[in-house]
A and B are shown apart, each in its own frame.
Chain A
Amino acid sequence: MEMATVRHRPEALEQLEAQSKFTKKELQVLYRGFKNECPSGIVNEETFKEIYSQFFPQGDSTTYAHFLFNAFDTDHNGSVSFEDFIRGLSILLRGTVQEKLNWAFNLYDINKDGYITKEEMLDIMKAIYDMMGKCTYPVVKEDAPRQHVETFFQKMDKNKDGVVTIDEFIESCQKDENIMRSMQLFENVI
């Protein structure tokens, strides 16, 4: 029986503090939680999906967790280390609105080519709706994700060329007050 004894030690606390926007204490708390769940120091996709699905008991969150994993795994080596984790969280919790929108764009752009196509957005949307599960009110219709994608593209795609670029995305989001406000929602999470 093979046991993968991959271990990963993160960089020193001072370096991480310099790279991210967290204080030392926050990094300590975050690392303790991280290492508790993954004693080997890295998260692979399976563990990631398992952890994420614990938060959404009613639906199936594996597809969305897969996209999220790719968004966090910036160097695409198949595992999320503590540095990747901190990098992502630093943007999400302490970054500027521009950085956050950038991160969201990166999440939606599945093949990382700089354009969000309708198919990519549809995949993302379906993954989000999958997380809702079956027992919803009103019942999720078959074309609900597609309609949602249409609404999204109507709002975001300014030049109507069928793809959303990063500039269109950031510009449209900055015009929408709802989105701007909700970006600040998780400021005090740590």
Chain B
Amino acid sequence: MAAGVAAWLPFARAAAIGWMPVANCPMPLAPTDKNKRQDELIILNVSGRRFQTWRTTLERYPDTLLGSTEKEFFFNEDTKEYFFDRDPEVFRCILNFYRTGKLHYPRYECISAYDEELAFYGILPEIIGDCCYEEYKDRKRENAERLMDDNDSENNQEGSMPSLNFRETMWRAFENPHTSTLALVFYYVTGFFIAVSVITNVVETVPCGTVPGNKELPCGERYAVAFFCLDTACVMIFTVEYLLRLFAAPSRYRFMRSVMSIIDVVAIMPYYIGLVMTDNEDVSGAFVTLRVFRVFRIFKFSRHSQGLRILGYTLKSCASELGFLLFSLTMAIIIFATVMFYAEKGSSASKFTSIPASFWYTIVTMTTLGYGDMVPKTIAGKIFGSICSLSGVLVIALPVPVIVSNFSRIYHQNQRADKRRAQKKARLARIRVAKTGSSNAYLHSKRNGLLNEALELTGSTDDEQHISKSTSLIESQHHHLLHCLEKTTNHEFIDEQLFEQNCMDSSMQNYPSTRSPSLSSQQGLTTSCCSRRNKKTTHLPNSSVPATRLRSMQELSTIHIQCSEQPSLTTSRSSLNMKSDDGLRPNCKASQITTAIISIPTPPVLTPEGESRPPPGSPSHATNISTASSNIVKVSAL
């Protein structure tokens, strides 16, 4: 719970009076403020700069240095102030944390110095407020990377690598060519062969010289064998490289799905397919088409060039923008093509034979290319043609700078959006954790509260102090407030796992006996707790004994559920047996069994149940009953 909101706790508690007339059960007692003293100003002297604040401000966070008694170590008797020999600039942030409940990270501060100060004052960095959290995390990550780089370079200089196995070394060599000379050599060799392969593809089609018969042949057919050998060599190198990468990849499945490996495969496939199907007339047409895919080898360069990769990525991220642009262009093209077609329809021997045929004219005109293979002949056609070319200038020229700026904007935006999305998940998780932490704290303290009251009964006070030390006054007041709400509605808070278990059990089990607790929760509990209050004044009338016993057993079985987290009840009587038999915390056990005895006016009823603990001594029995019945309201009223 934020510290600032803690100041509103008195208001929330006062407003709880609104539940009182509605509740059917008595409310639990409020926690008392045992050491309520006047709030005083304390002086914190940090390297000469004096800060002053209220004592209660610091005590909001009792598990930090300033909020606990640890600060007494720094108390200076002569000047009656707390002296800290630390950085006063950072202390300002720390003190503001106590005041506002939000910890901020000043940007000018060095991250490691800040971390040290936080550690000194016992404050966890996770509670840095949302406004400064991203900055803090970024700086921390940079710092960690810097440290890692330092470590790496240290390691490299020493020459001692951590024991990577052969496979990991190979993978590292592939990914970072500058790590070893062998990797560098491999990198350059593959690059060279990619270039060779691409150039051969290109040169293959150049006509070089004539052959007797006056036919011009492309080089590929003239020197077929040479080109074939070159191609084979390149493909062999590529195949070897692909197989090596496949072997070295840490996750083969993920590697096979990656874009680069698909490019590799597409680059070498045509060759093998060509080997397999040679001189087959039917598929030779398809085979020729396959050779086109050899040009994909040029994309293998993107492994060698960072810039290509970035370009590919930005194109991918701008895809929607480009798509929209294409769509609007298509609209314009269709409009003008239709217009031109109908305008030129009248003229004879017009090249505008159909609307799709006019597409070509429109595109050529709008991009201001103007090949001249199709020209309008009618006057209307010429008018619309000129409108088309003028609008083409506008339509084409305008989006290009927009696309360019879009690229850079989207690129940066994408980076920031991804960052924010990752942090949003973390932020929501933190909020959820804080919420569950708060509710868990209450559930935890309820169980502890049982222990507390049990210990009060058995009279051991030092344990009680030990347990109550962990909750501050504000926490206990908050828990009391939640407790009052439980009493108002006659339902209890439980944690999620217990809830799910209950749901599962209620759907699985057939439980006539467990239905009784739920019934009693509606009517029995209300009457039982109220009647028990009457019991206090009327000294345990015998007539209500059996009913009380049943109800108290159900009450105790409720306690049993909470204590041991076993939701399955068979019969209420056996649950009492279960409780005495299973090895729970001995204090818990003792508490319930002792109360059971006291709440039942006739102890012999229970002793046959295997109860081995003797009831408290008989002279004090009468007083015990009266005190116990007042305690009953406390303990079983859960």
Contacts and interface: CB of A to CB of B under 8 A. Distances in A.
B partners with A: yes
Interface of A: 29-30, 32-34, 36-37, 51-52, 54-58, 68, 71, 85, 88-89, 92-93, 100-101, 103-104, 107-108, 124-125, 128-129, 131-140, 144, 147-148, 151-152, 156, 169, 173, 177-179, 181-183, 185-186, 188-190
Nearest to B441: A57
Nearest to A145: B489
B4 A185 contact: no
21 contacts: A37-B5, A51-B5, A54-B2, A58-B439, A128-B485, A128-B488, A131-B485, A135-B499, A137-B492, A137-B498, A137-B561, A138-B518, A138-B521, A148-B22, A148-B489, A152-B22, A169-B21, A178-B26, A179-B20, A183-B17, A186-B17
Contacts of A68: 15, 18
Contacts of A103: 17-18
Contacts of A36: 4, 7, 99-100
Interface string B27-53: 101101100000100000000000000
B24 A151 contact: yes
Contact of B502 (A89, A104, A139): A139
A137 B22 contact: no
A68 B99 CA distance: 27
Interface string B430-453: 000001101100000000000000
A56 B436 CA distance: 11
Nearest to A29: B39
Contacts of B438: 57
Nearest to B491: A136
Contacts of A88: 14
A186 B100 contact: no
A93 B30 CA distance: 14
A128 B19 contact: yes
B17 to A, nearest CB: 5
Contact of A100 (B17, B502, B506): B17
Contacts of B12: 52, 55
Contacts of A135: 493-496, 498-499
Which size class do B's interface residues fall under? 35 or more
Interface in B28-82: 29-30, 32-33, 39
A71 B18 contact: yes
Among A52, A57, A129, max chain B CB count under 10 A is at: A57
Given A134-B499, A139-B502, A54 B518 contact: no
Nearest to A177: B533
A129 B88 CA distance: 49
B17 A33 contact: no
B324 interface: no
The 9 closest A-B pairs by CB, nearest first: A33-B7, A135-B499, A92-B14, A136-B491, A57-B435, A182-B27, A182-B20, A57-B438, A137-B494
Contacts of A177: 533
**Interface SS of B by simple majority:** helix
A120 to B, nearest CB: 12
A117 to B, nearest CB: 15
B196 to A, nearest CB: 61
Contacts of A181: 26-27
Contacts of B498: 135, 137
Of residues B17, B438, B484, which shows the largest number of chain A Cβ atoms within 10 Å of its Cβ? B17
Contacts of A32: 7
A93 B9 CA distance: 13
Nearest to B54: A32
Nearest to A35: B7
Contacts of B2: 54
A137 B491 contact: yes
A128 B2 CA distance: 23
Contacts of A139: 499, 502-503, 506
B494 A136 contact: yes
Interface in B504-527: 506, 517-518, 521-522, 526
B598 interface: no
B434 to A, nearest CB: 8
Given A55-B1, A68-B15, A104-B21, A133 B493 contact: yes
B11 A85 contact: yes
B108 interface: no
A124, A173, A182 — most chain B CB neighbours (10 Å): A182
Contacts of B481: 55
Nearest to B477: A189
A183 B16 CA distance: 10
Contact of B493 (A58, A71, A152, A185): A58
Given A89-B11, A136-B492, A137-B491, A186 B30 contact: yes
A29 B22 CA distance: 31
B8 A182 contact: no
A177 B517 CA distance: 26
Given A54-B2, A137-B558, 19 more contacts: A33-B10, A89-B10, A93-B14, A100-B17, A103-B18, A104-B18, A129-B489, A135-B498, A136-B491, A136-B494, A137-B492, A137-B502, A138-B521, A139-B502, A178-B26, A179-B21, A181-B26, A183-B17, A189-B14
A154 B498 CA distance: 34
